[in-house]
Structure 1
Amino acid sequence: MENENTPFKAGLNSGLILGLISVVLTYVIYFVDSSLLAAWYVGIGIFVLFIGLIIYFGIQYRNSIGGYMPFGAAFNFSFITLVVAGIIGVLANILLFTVVDPALPNVLVDAQMETQIAMLDKFGAGDSISSEQLDEMRTNLQNAYTPFGQLKGFGFLLIGYAIFALILGAILKKRDKSLDF
């Protein structure tokens, strides 16, 4: 029986690599300046890096299986990669927020509140927000950093992962045109 490299196995390997990169980046950013974990531009930068790495790993996988990959295999590879990396990232975040630095969620909530209030002020709606609404915003943000909030957020991320896997599958697929009649 030959050792076949399936989209699941390749996605699992790529997901482990991306997950470890995610953990390293998160902890490096935490040690450099923990408030950067709440910065939107850091999140966008990491997201772009991960999409680029998934495409790179996907092309490597496609080349390893003969240079052609149907959309289904490309989708499966991308989705498994994202899910595995996401699970590792969530577990690392739960560890960071509950064991390494339990005070970190409050720092991040404060940074996010400042950003949201500044954005509301930019649109002229800052004065119309009541203190009850601000308290509710703060509570919702704090709940997102609990272990249950992290797991709940990951559940919603699965929908986003499926959408991105569809897009990545379309990018990574390559059909053998010599088989066309």
Structure 2
Amino acid sequence: MDKRFSLASRLIHWAIAFTFLYLLLTVLLRLGWMNKGQMGGIIQSSLENEGMIIDNDLAGKIGKDVRRPMWNTHTIAGYVLCGLFIIRMVITRVQGAAFYSPLKGGLTGYQRFRSWVYVLFYVFTATSLLTGLIIKFGPDSIHDINEEIHKLSLYYMVAFIGLHLVGVVAADGDKERGIISKIISGEGARV
């Protein structure tokens, strides 16, 4: 029985995927188009056209204030991901893991690599969720180190999404034909 394609597993997979993509979008917006310096420059330029001059610090503060509602949704999506992660762990506990232990003997190189990718994904996801919660609710004494660790989440998120997409497409074309259809519709899955 392939547990990866049960209705519960598919729903949680897609909920986590869309939440991850939303979190990534908010990070990319904050780093790019909605960067406080970028927004501050636009604000300074607009005010200058109206005959008002403000310094870079004030413009950056106003830029941060403008993007705050967007960034608040990042925090909310983080809470949603915490809940989804807990649900995923419960499903995994009830149904069993959908991948082998990477320490199990007799695995092919592909199976071992795939297993390590998933283990690292869960460890890194737990770490980014925990550091996000500490940033929000933890003591000031450990805020900065947790913020630095949390910012590194961008790199594992992008790497995992890329590896996952390449791996799924490759598997669908070779060892696991129909895997893309199964994760979408569950069709052909034995549950």
Q: Is TM more than 0.5 here? A: no
| TM-score using structure 1 length | 0.34
Q: TM-score, normalised by structure 2?
A: 0.33
Q: Which has the higher contact order (CA 8 A, sep 6+)?
A: 1
- Indicate the structure with greater helix content: 1
**Largest Rg, 1 or 2:** 2
